[in-house]
Amino acid sequence: DAEITQSPRHKITETGRQVTLACHQTWNHNNMFWYRQDLGHGLRLIHYSYGVQDTNKGEVSDGYSVSRSNTEDLPLTLESAASSQTSVYFCASSEGLGANTGELFFGEGSRLTVL
Amino acid sequence: QKEVEQNSGPLSVPEGAIASLNCTYSDRGSQSFFWYRQYSGKSPELIMFIYSNGDKEDGRFTAQLNKASQYVSLLIRDSQPSDSATYLCAVKNYGQNFVFGPGTRLSVLP
C-alpha cells in the first residue's frame, strides 16, 4: 500500500542546532507539504512543493527550508532551532491542484522539542 | 489573509445525539471544503468533502455548504464515543493550497 512516512517521530534538540525532518511518500504525488500544528493555531503551512526542484514558502516559513530532488522526498530543515519551533510537524502529499482534487494524505507526525 | 474559523470547543454531546460542527471562511472564491478528523496524537484523516451548495450525506455524517453565507457544517448523527476527536475544517480554491481552521474538539459522553 502507498504511504507517507516521517522520521524521526520524536526529536529533542538544543537551541541553535540544525535539525532535519524526513518525509517520504510512495503515492507518487507531485505535491508535498509541511505543516506545523500548535494548540490554538491548527495546521499552518511551512513550505510546499508542486514537483521536483520546485519549492515555495508558506505562511510560517521563517527559519525553515526544504529541498525537492526527487518525487518521493521533501526533507524539512531547521537551520538553527529555536524554542518557538517546538511543535508537531506533519508532512502531507496530494495528487492535484484543482479545486475538486487534492485530498491531503498525512504522515504520522514528528514531535520536535527544542530546549 | 484567508481565514477559516471554527469554535474551539470542547463540544460535548451525549451518546446517540447529533453533533453539529460549524465552520466559516473568509475567501468568497473558495471552491472545495473538507472535513478532517484527528484523534489525539494522530494525524488528520479525511472524513468528507463537499463542493456544491446543499447537503452531502455519507453514513452518519452530513456535510452542509452555504456559499452565500460562507458557511460549512458537519453533522454527526447517532454520535458514538469513538467520534470523540478534533474536527478540522479545510477550504481550498483552484490551484491554491488548503487553509485549515483551528479545529473543534468533540467529546461524546457515554
pLDDT at residue B16 in the model: 97
For the stretch B55-86, pLDDT in tens is 999 999 999 999 999 999 999 999 999 999 99
Q: What is the mean pLDDT of residues A41-53?
A: 92
pLDDT in tens, A58-114: 999 999 999 999 999 999 999 999 999 999 999 999 886 654 556 889 999 999 999
* B69 Cβ under 8 Å from any chain A Cβ: no
Question: How near does any CA of chain A get to the CA of B22, in Å?
Answer: 15
Mean pLDDT of B21-44: 93
Closest CA of chain B from A23, distance in Å: 14
Confidence of residue A41 (pLDDT cuts 50, 70, 90): confident
pLDDT score of A101: 58
Give chain B's end-to-end CA distance (angstroms, integer).
40
pLDDT at A18 over 80: yes
Best probe of the B interface among A37, A44, A45, A94, by most B CBs < 10 A, is A37
Closest CA to B61 of B45, B44, B84, B78: B78
* A102/B102 CB distance under 8 A: no
DSSP assignment of A42-73 equals EEEEEEEEEETTEEEE-TT-TTEEE--SSSSB
Nearest-CB residue to A43 (from B46, B88, B95): B88
Interface test mutation site (partner B, options A27, A60, A103, A108, max chain B beta carbons within 10 A): A103
Position B7 scores a pLDDT of: 85
Give the model's pLDDT for residue B104: 95
Res. A12: pLDDT tops 90: yes
Question: With an 8 Å Cβ cutoff, are A99 and B46 in contact?
Answer: no
**What does the pLDDT read at residue A6?**
97
Look up cell 469513538; give the residue: B82
Question: B100 versus B96: which is more confidently predicted?
Answer: B100
Q: Shortest CA distance to B74 belongs to which of B94, B95, B93, B46?
A: B46
